[in-house]
Amino acid sequence: NQSTAMSTPSSIPPVPDWPRLLRPGMRLHLSSGAACPVALMESFLGVAARIGHLELVQGLTLPPAPWLNPRHAGYLKVNAVYLDEELARMVNDGNADYTPVHYSDLPSLYRDRTLPVDVALIMVSPPDAYGYCSLGPSVEWTPAAIESARLVIAQINPRLPRTGGLSHIHLSRIHAAIEAEADTCAMRVPSDGQWRTVQKPITKKSSPTQARSAANAAAASQAEKPVPDTPVRSVSNKSAATPSGA
């Protein structure tokens, strides 16, 4: 019985003390898609400017996503592994980074520390009678983030549907959490019901390596895209940016 498990205050991790848990230079994994912990992110954004110099790795963005507001770019750098129109615009404007990589490659990049993660920000269901929470419908590479991160901070959401398979985490592995009930994130359907691909040329002169990376990224996005996509004008030359399929 989920409500019985949740009724014991001692079973729930403490509310995150963000300034104590985080420090400048940390890289944060954000669970994406339908299980994105929006309420947890809103709590984090309230103090992020006091910490500063943080990186947020994220995939598919579904609304709402207040952390994508450019006013946060000075202290929170988004590192996108999936581009929609808004993220592509942020990359082109210098307000976000882009790592072209297939989703299937991300677990190994986390585990072998090619892309080391300090903190996993996740959404989970309430624990079952045995203390296990579900990651819900968007498992993706979050288990690898939980496994490799030093801290796991969660939003416990009673509305998050439980899923089977390797999609669970024991409450004892969560270092801090908030309890916030919310609908899962959903995609906005265009008013005319038609999905479109918006493609812009790469207008900045780039090296052959950058051009190949951008081409790989565009091809990967085209294969996986459920939302409009825009190839970026230039790809950030970061050591962790490992082109996929090159």
Q: Give the predicted TM-score (pTM) of the model.
A: 0.76
Asked if the model's pLDDT at residue 48 lies above 60, the reply is yes
> pLDDT at position 187, please?
75
Give me the residue label for tokens 């420090």: 23
Residue 154 has pLDDT above 70, yes or no: yes
Rounded to whole angstroms, the Cα distance separating 140 from 104 reads 8
Ranking 1-15, 48-62, 147-161 by mean pLDDT, the lowest is 1-15
Torsion of CA 129, 120, 106, 143, to 10 degrees: -10
Integer Cα distance of 175 and 150 in angstroms? 9
More confident residue, 61 or 241: 61
User: Two tokens at 41?
Assistant: 């992110």
Burial of 30 (0-12, 13-18, 19+ CB in 10 A): buried
Measured between alpha carbons, how far is 4 from 1 in angstroms, rounded to an integer?
5
Q: What six digits make up the tokens of 133? A: 């929470």
Mode of pairing for the β-strands spanning 96-98 and 119-124 = unpaired
